[in-house]
Structure formats: C-alpha cells, structure tokens
C-alpha cells in the first residue's frame, strides 16, 4: 500500500521556535537564532514517520495575516495558495497574549490548524500555567505542548497533525471569530455579495476575503483584480462603500475596530486559560538589560564585544592555524619529493597546494568568527545590538532593524542581503542592500590576517577590529548620502521584539559553525581550486621568456669563482665567503623570477592595470590579486600564494617573508586592506543584489560605487600617510 503523503506548514510569530522544531523534526540544519527574522524564506524538509511521508515547510515568522514585509507575504501566500494539509501555529507559551493574535487570524481560515504551545518549560519557569484543554475548547483548535529545543512533545504534535489531516474538514462553531454587530453585519453583506460574483476558480474563503477587504488589505484587493477581473470593480466598490459606512458609524477606521475586537477576545481568553503563580519571580533578562542596553554603558559594551570577537578570532585561531600551516608544508614537501621535475609537479606544488593551502589555513579563524556571531544570535544579544544602533542608524534614515542584516554581513554578505526581506519599506531594503557590502565578510578575513599579521604583528587583532569599524563608518556615511540624494523618504518607525536572554545550545552553535565551514570548504574544492590553477597557468606561461640578462651564466660564474677562491690555497674566511656567494645567488634568483613573472601572461595583465593601483601603493602583483578578488575574496590570498610560491614554499611564513621582500610597506598594506574592505563584493553577492533589488541598474551602480569609494579611501590613506611620514 502506497504511503500517504502530507504537507505540514509551520507558521508562527518571529522567534517562537519554528526553525528549532523544524530542525528537530526533519534533521536538517537550518539557521537557528534568538532574534526575530532568522527565517527569511520558506524551507522544506522530508521525514518518514508513523507510516507517513511528510513534507515539513518552515515559513517565515509573521505577526499577523495582514503582512507588511516580504517574508510575511511569503508566509501568508503559502497558507492561502498552496493549501497545506495542516498548518501548525508555533506559539511562544511564555508570550501567549502576543502570539494569540496570529492564532486568532488563522482560526478565520477554513484550513486545518493546530496550536503548538512551544517553550512550555520557559512559561513554567516564569510561573505561568496554561489550561491547554480549555484553550482548545475556546478556540475550537487542537492544542499541544512542546519544548522544541529538547524534542519534547514533537511526536505528539506529529500524531495530532496526522489525525487532523486524515479527518474531514469540520469547522466547529467555537472557531468562528465574532466581531461587533456593526462589523458582523458588514462582513455578512460583503460575503454574500462576493459569493454571487465569483466562481470556483477563486479559492479564498469568502468570509475571510470580506474581512480583509474591510480591513483595506491591498494584497487581497490586488488578488481580487487579478482573479475575478470582470466583477472586481463592483466588489471593491461595494467594500469601499461598506468601509465608509462603518467609519461614520464607529468614528474610526474599520481595521482599527476589528483589531480591538480581536484583542478583546484574546484578553478574555487569557483570563480563562492563563494563571500566574503568586511567587515573586526575578526577571533576569530585564536585569541584564539594565546594563547591556543602558544609554551610557550599552554602546561601549557593544564595541568591546565586537573588539573581543576579532581579538579572539585572531589570537585563538593562531594555534590551529599553525598546525594546519605545518600540515600544508608537509604535504607540499611530500609531493615535491615524490614527483619528478615536470610541469605537473609545478602545478601541484606551486599552483594547487600553494593556492588552496594559503586559504585552508584560515579555517580556524573563520570558524571562530561564526561561533561568535552565533553566540550573539542565540543568546538574544543580536536584537539588543539593533536596539543600541537605532539612534546611529537614524542618522542615515534607517532604523535599528536594518543593522541586523548589516551585522550578519560580518559572516557572509549573501544571507545578509537576503535578510533585508524582513524590512517593511522597499526604500529601506534597497538602501540596506547597497551599504551592507561595506560590512567586511568572513571571506576578506584571510587577507587581513596575512597583511596585518605581517606588518602589524603586535597589534594585528586591533588593526583588524579597526578595519571592520571603518567599514561600519563608511556604510553610515554612504547611507546618509543615498538617503539624501537617491532614496528620499521618511524614517520608518522602529518596533522590534527584544527576546529574553537564553543560554545557547552548543548543538546549535556547532551546527552553525559546521554549515559555514562547509561553504568555506566547498569553495576550496571549487572556485578557489579553479582560480589557483588559472593563476598558476597565467603566471607560468609563456615559457620561452627572453631575459634581459643571462642569469644562469652569472650564477654559474659565481659558483666557479667561489670554487677557484677556495682551491687557491689562500688564507680566507671560507664561511663568510660562502655566505656572500649565497646572498648574490639568491638576489640573482629573485631577480630572474621577478622578470619571469613580469613577462608571463599574468605579469602583462598586472603591468597593464598597475598604473591604476600605484597611486594607492599596490604593485602589479597586488593589482592582479585584487582583480581576481572580483570572483571571490578568498582568491586574493591564494593568488598571492601562487605568485610568491617560487620564492618559498606553500607555507604562510614564506608568503609573509615574500611580502616583506616585495617592497610592500605597512602603509601600502593598510591601503590594500582598505581597498579589499570596500571594493565590489564577490559574484555571489552581486547575484544576491540583483535578485533582491530586482534591478540590474542597482547592481551596476553598486559595483561602480563601491569600487570608486574603495580606490578613493585607499588613496587618502596611502597618500595621506606618506605626507605625514607614516
């Protein structure tokens, strides 16, 4: 017998635990965070349990079925248009009143709904006692207690969902949401009017449609125009007429009165089902916030946390980085020993191992950075960071909620840009998207570690922190400019839930780290491997180089002169003579390699673009590295690893020594870090900008603007530093 297939949608308020339950049900590893707006698009997972194939859909969080942001529209459209077998509304049991608003709206839909009272343990610890049986009777909907992060109640939830899916659709009388007499009369009149003018192709519940039209829901009005067409004008005119009558009679907009009616029902329900223990309870989150969100202490503490994150990333990451570096050196030495001299050997040792190896050693730093970001998210501090940044964000015409995607940009710009879907205003979304690339992503971190570790070793962590801070500053100034000149508009009000502080689960932190490390490792075997091979080919061909000097004969002459001096029988300091000979040989070898590199294909490319980068202190090798960074920022380091591989082995120490010998100074290194920070994001980010703005023009503008700003800022840093004698 073929297994029954069910589609179960998880809906609910932001930060109610939907994604945690989704992860535990399906075994997938979607991002989990203790701040609103983590899920910005629907996710799907398949499970086989109790004899059923079930597709679980994790919808973005929404506070109501009258959506404002893109993520809320995604959630409502799925419930309305895709008709899942069961909708499970995940309710934060510790915040029952707020969560029941969406639950109350779901009752109005003729679909099969279950209410999952999640975080039941948190509610209990706060002294709340909920009568689930009575709540089920009052609402006419099955109610199940769950503790998502501990897997408690999830089997009962699935069994209830299966039972409900297999039962006929019966809407009990208790489930009918009732409004005041005037509202009910208008709903009934509009409902009958709609039913006479639509056919079976219009799938929305007629009563719910009438409610939404009376609430002046623009999306539903658009759907009426799209689906009903011939009669749409009559339906909308009738709805507007009834709205006008209600406004005069009630002396207020119908949507406000209907919202009041819903909250009145919720307040009555809360009195019936919720009791609070009389014992005195200490609100730990509120006490912590007295310090962390204090108007004087909050911002310095936030800056300290960010500084500590980068200091920890650099200092703690140094130890495993050395181990991986040594391992790369051993691998390089092994292949250099076992392979015969050939182009293949050079490709493997100087191309693949030198290129990929120069990036893989930064894996510990990347993991530590993502661990710290996950820590901010899971504890609830991420939302506080947005709250603290609200006043600063208002300087650029945005609000604190926009800072969350920007802060996510420290990890990766792609999910950060997707996260702007949580913003209600399109202008706010575009503005946030345009300035988010200035937030330094983890792909840029290896470049900073190499350059800061080479030229600012004693203060590398602080220098990296200042680079990130500079990116935030440029984003703020740029945002103000864009808001004034390109995206004019009023500041949107900032209303954002501050979730309670929670002790993060190590499992979630490790999942977050592993997911990001998988992305990093995939790049190792993909774009960075290919990039390293391409860079090696370009730097090693053509092979018939016409040198300006006969380096080989000059080196041979040095060896011959040394042998003659030693065998002459004269009294000499043989050790000192040997050292002098080796120094001259090394200089000639470096000069030969430099000329060979300059006359290779990549050298010709570098020399062609070098005039653009010389004013900011970057030579042709750095120019080529920056050029490859247009594809992915990690390739900047792998390119340098390949270009300098001939001067040492694949280890990072050799790259640092080569950088010191190349003539690069601390000032030019700082200029290069500033350029890497600010210039055009990688191809994946460019694709995300195009998708989220829906405009190629905005994408091209972003590429041109960020690159121009990068060059201008690097010019100011380099030339200004030279003027003051830095």
Residue 645 has pLDDT above 70, yes or no: no
Q: Where are the beta strands (DSSP E) in 166-302?
A: 274-276
Residues 158 and 73 in one domain: yes
Whether residue 509 is predicted with pLDDT greater than 90 in this model: the reply is no
CA pair distance 178, 266, nearest whole angstrom: 12
| Whether residue 186 is found in the same domain as residue 170 | no
Please compute the mean of the pLDDT values over residues 515-536 and round it to a whole number: 74
Q: What is the mean pLDDT of residues 379-394?
A: 78
Hey, what are 706's tokens?
């960020």
| 92 and 141 housed in the same domain | yes
Phi, psi (degrees; rounded to nearest 5) at 143: -125, 130
- 207: closest CA among 245, 162, 175? 175
With 50 as the cut, is the pLDDT of residue 44 above it?
yes
Q: What is the mean pLDDT of the chain?
A: 82
- The confidence band for 298, taking pLDDT boundaries of 50, 70 and 90, is confident
What's the pLDDT score for residue 492? 54
C-alpha distances in Å from residue 497, one per residue of 8, 15, 69, 209, 525: 27, 9, 15, 29, 41
Which pLDDT tens digit goes with each residue over 163-195?
999 888 777 766 677 888 888 889 888 988 888
d(C-alpha 442, C-alpha 447), whole Å: 10
Higher pLDDT, 424 or 595: 595
Q: pLDDT tens digits for 264-282?
A: 888 888 888 888 775 545 5
Find tokens 């053509």 and name the residue. 542
In the chain, the number of structural domains is 4
Q: Does residue 677 lie within any of the structural domains?
A: no
Look at residue 97 in the predicted model and tell me its pLDDT.
Answer: 85
Write down how long the chain is. 726
Q: Which residues pair with residue 539 across a beta bridge? A: none
Domain check: are 166 and 21 in the same one? yes
pLDDT attached to residue 648? 41
Residue 699 inside a domain? The answer is: no
Q: Are residue 258 and residue 188 in the same domain, yes or no?
A: yes
Residue 29 has pLDDT above 60, yes or no: no
The three-state secondary structure class of 453 is helix
724 located within any domain: no
Domain end residue (candidates: 485, 504, 524): 485
Q: Are 674 and 715 spatial neighbours (Cβ–Cβ below 8 Å)?
A: no
**CB-based contacts of 361, cutoff 8 Å, min separation 6:** 321, 324, 325, 328, 652
Q: How many CB atoms lie within 10 A of CB 716?
A: 13
Residue 666 lies in a domain: no
Q: Which helix (H) or strand (E) holds 9?
A: strand 4-12
The answer to whether the bond into 542 is cis (omega within 30° of 0) is yes
Domain-embedded: residue 209: yes
Note the pLDDT of residue 489. Answer: 64
Instruction: Establish if 272 belongs to a structural domain.
Output: yes
pLDDT of residue 490: 59
Q: Is the pLDDT of residue 424 over 80?
A: no
Same structural domain, 193 and 169: no
pLDDT category at 491 given cuts 50, 70, 90 is: low
> Does pLDDT of 582 surpass 50?
yes
pLDDT, residue 30, reads: 57
E strands in 84-138: 86-92, 113-118, 128-130
Same-domain check for residues 25 and 162: yes
Using the 3D structure, point to which of 128, 145, 175 is the last residue of a domain.
175
Terminal-residue alpha carbon distance, the chain = 79
Residues 137, 11 share a domain: yes
Give residue 317's pLDDT band: very low, low, confident or very high (50, 70, 90): confident
C-alpha pair distances (Å), 218 with each of 11, 68, 73, 224, 225: 22, 10, 12, 10, 11
Claim to verify: residue 400 and residue 429 sit in the same structural domain: yes
> Is pLDDT of 88 > 90?
yes
Residue 216, judged by CB atoms within 10 A of its CB (0-12, 13-18, 19+), counts as middle
Q: Which of 99-108, 595-604, 670-679 has the largest mean confidence?
A: 670-679
The percentage of the chain sitting over the pLDDT mark of 70, rounded to a whole number, equals 90
pLDDT at position 705: 94
pLDDT at site 61:
82
Whether residue 634 is predicted with pLDDT greater than 50 in this model: the reply is yes
CB atoms within 10 A of CB 16: 28
- Distance, CA of 238 to CA of 72 (rounded, Å): 28
> What is the four-CA torsion angle of 648, 653, 658, 660, rounded to 10 degrees?
-160
Residues 311 and 206 both lie in one domain: no
Of 354, 364, 352, nearest to 323 (Cα)?
Answer: 364
| pLDDT in the model for residue 715 | 95
Contact predicate 291/297, CB 8 Å: yes
CA separation, residue 715 to residues 82, 236, 435, 467, 614 (Å): 54, 59, 21, 16, 10
Q: Which of 55-69, 221-235, 510-524, 704-718 has the highest mean pLDDT?
A: 704-718
Tens digits of per-residue pLDDT, 318-368? 888 888 888 888 888 898 889 888 888 888 887 788 777 777 877 888 788
SS3 (DSSP) at 664: coil
Q: Which residue has the tokens 């017998």?
A: 1
Residue 206 lies in a domain: yes
Instruction: Quick: pLDDT tens for 611-621.
Output: 999 999 998 88
Rounded Cα distance between 338 and 342, Å, is: 12
- Cα–Cα distances in Å, from 606 out to 282, 318, 622, 628, 643? 64, 32, 8, 11, 11
Question: Please, which pLDDT band fits residue 493 given cuts at 50, 70 and 90?
Answer: low
Say yes or no to pLDDT of 421 above 70: yes
User: Does 218 lie in the same domain as 106?
Assistant: no
pLDDT at 218 over 70: yes
Q: What angle do CA 442, 443, 444 make, to 5 degrees?
A: 90
Model confidence at 3, pLDDT cuts 50, 70, 90, reads low
Closest among 41, 147, 43 to 91, alpha carbons compared: 147
Q: Looking at residue 68, what is its pLDDT?
A: 67
What is d(CA 718, CA 714) in angstroms, rounded to the nearest whole number?
Answer: 6
Per-residue model confidence as pLDDT tens digits over 231-257: 888 888 888 999 888 888 888 888 888
Is the pLDDT at 443 greater than 70, yes or no? yes
pLDDT exceeds 70 at position 219? yes
CATH number, domain containing residue 211 = 1.10.287.1770
Identify the CATH number of the domain in which residue 123 sits.
3.40.50.300
Measured CA to CA, the distance from residue 317 to residue 379 in angstroms comes to 23
DSSP string of 139-163, one letter each residue: HTS-EEE-BGGGTBTHHHHHHHHHH
Residue 164 in tokens:
């409900």
Residue range 5-23: average pLDDT? Answer: 87
What is residue 708's predicted lDDT score, i.e. its pLDDT? 94
Range of the domain at 417: 299-485
Domain ends where: 468, 485, 502? Answer: 485
Q: Mean pLDDT across the stretch 433-459?
A: 86
| Closest to 13 in 3D by CA, of 75, 55, 56, 70 | 75
Q: What gap in Å lies between CA 311 and CA 466, rounded to an integer? A: 11
- Pair 455, 355 in one domain: yes
Query: Of the candidates 65, 247, 23, 49, which has an alpha carbon nearest to the alpha carbon of residue 162?
Result: 49
165 in any annotated domain: yes
């Amino acid at each position: 017998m073929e297994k029954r297939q069910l589609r179960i949608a998880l809906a609910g308020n932001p930060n109610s635990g939907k994604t945690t339950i989704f992860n535990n049900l399906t075994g997938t590893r979607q991002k989990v965070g203790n701040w609103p707006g983590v899920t910005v698009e629907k996710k799907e997972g398949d499970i086989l349990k109790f004899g059923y194939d079930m597709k679980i859909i994790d919808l973005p969080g929404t506070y109501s079925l009258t959506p404002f942001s893109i993520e809320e529209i995604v959630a409502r459209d799925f419930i309305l248009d895709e008709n899942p077998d069961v909708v499970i509304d995940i309710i934060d049991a510790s915040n029952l009143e707020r969560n029941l608003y969406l639950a109350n709206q779901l009752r109005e839909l003729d679909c099969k709904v279950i209410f999952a009272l999640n975080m039941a343990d948190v509610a209990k610890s706060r002294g709340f006692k909920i009568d689930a049986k009575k709540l089920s009777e009052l609402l006419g909907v099955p109610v199940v207690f769950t503790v998502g992060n501990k897997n408690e109640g999830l089997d009962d939830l699935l069994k209830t969902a299966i039972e409900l899916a297999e039962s006929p659709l019966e809407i009990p009388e208790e489930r009918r949401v009732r409004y005041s007499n005037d509202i009910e009369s208008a709903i009934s009149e509009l409902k009958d009017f709609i039913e006479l003018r639509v056919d079976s192709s219009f799938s929305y519940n007629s009563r719910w449609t009438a409610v939404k039209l009376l609430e002046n829901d623009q999306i539903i009005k658009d759907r009426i125009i799209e689906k009903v067409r011939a009669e749409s004008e009559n339906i909308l005119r009738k709805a507007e007429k009834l709205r006008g009558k209600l406004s005069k009679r009630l002396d207020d907009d119908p949507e406000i009165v209907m919202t009041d009616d819903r909250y009145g029902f919720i307040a009555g329900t809360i009195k019936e089902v919720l009791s609070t223990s009389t014992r005195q309870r200490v609100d730990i989150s509120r006490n912590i916030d007295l310090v962390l969100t204090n108007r004087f202490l909050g911002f310095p503490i936030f800056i300290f946390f960010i500084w500590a994150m980068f200091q920890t990333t650099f200092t703690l990451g140094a130890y495993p980085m050395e181990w991986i570096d040594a391992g790369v050196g051993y691998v390089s030495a092994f292949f250099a020993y076992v392979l015969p001299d050939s182009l293949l050997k050079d490709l493997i040792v100087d191309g693949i191992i030198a290129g990929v190896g120069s990036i893989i050693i930064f894996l510990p730093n990347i993991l530590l950075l993502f661990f710290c970001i996950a820590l901010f998210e899971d504890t609830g501090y991420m939302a506080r960071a947005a709250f603290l940044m609200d006043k600063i964000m208002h300087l650029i015409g945005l609000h604190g909620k926009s800072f969350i995607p920007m802060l996510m940009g420290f990890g990766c710009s792609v999910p950060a840009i997707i996260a702007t879907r949580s913003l209600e205003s399109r202008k706010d979304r575009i503005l946030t998207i345009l300035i988010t690339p200035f937030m330094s992503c983890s792909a840029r971190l290896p470049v900073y570690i190499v350059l800061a570790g080479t030229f600012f070793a004693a203060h590398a962590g602080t220098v990296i922190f200042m680079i990130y801070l500079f990116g935030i500053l440029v984003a703020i100034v740029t945002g103000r400019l864009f808001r004034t000149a390109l995206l004019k508009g009023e500041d949107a009000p900032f209303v954002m839930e501050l979730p309670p502080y929670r002790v993060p689960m190590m499992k979630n932190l490790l999942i977050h780290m592993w997911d990001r490390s998988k992305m990093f490792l995939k790049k190792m075997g993909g774009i960075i491997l290919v990039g390293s091979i391409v860079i090696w080919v370009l730097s090693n061909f053509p092979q018939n180089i016409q040198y300006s000097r006969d380096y080989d004969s000059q080196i041979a002459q040095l060896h011959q002169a040394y042998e003659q001096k030693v065998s002459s029988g004269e009294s000499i300091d043989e050790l000192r003579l040997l050292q002098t000979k080796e120094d001259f040989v090394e200089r000639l070898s470096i000069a030969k390699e430099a000329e060979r590199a300059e006359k290779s294909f990549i050298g010709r490319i570098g020399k062609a673009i070098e005039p653009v980068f010389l004013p900011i202190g970057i030579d042709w090798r750095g120019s080529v590295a920056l050029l490859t960074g247009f594809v992915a920022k990690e390739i900047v380091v792998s390119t340098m690893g390949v270009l300098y591989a001939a001067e040492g082995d694949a280890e990072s120490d050799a790259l640092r020594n080569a950088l010191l010998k190349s003539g690069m100074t601390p000032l030019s290194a700082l200029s290069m870090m500033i350029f890497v920070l600010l210039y055009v994001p990688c191809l994946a980010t460019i694709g995300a900008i195009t998708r989220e703005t829906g405009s190629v023009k905005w994408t091209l503008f972003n590429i041109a603007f960020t690159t121009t700003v990068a060059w201008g800022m690097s010019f100011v840093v380099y030339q200004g530093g030279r003027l003051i004698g830095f």
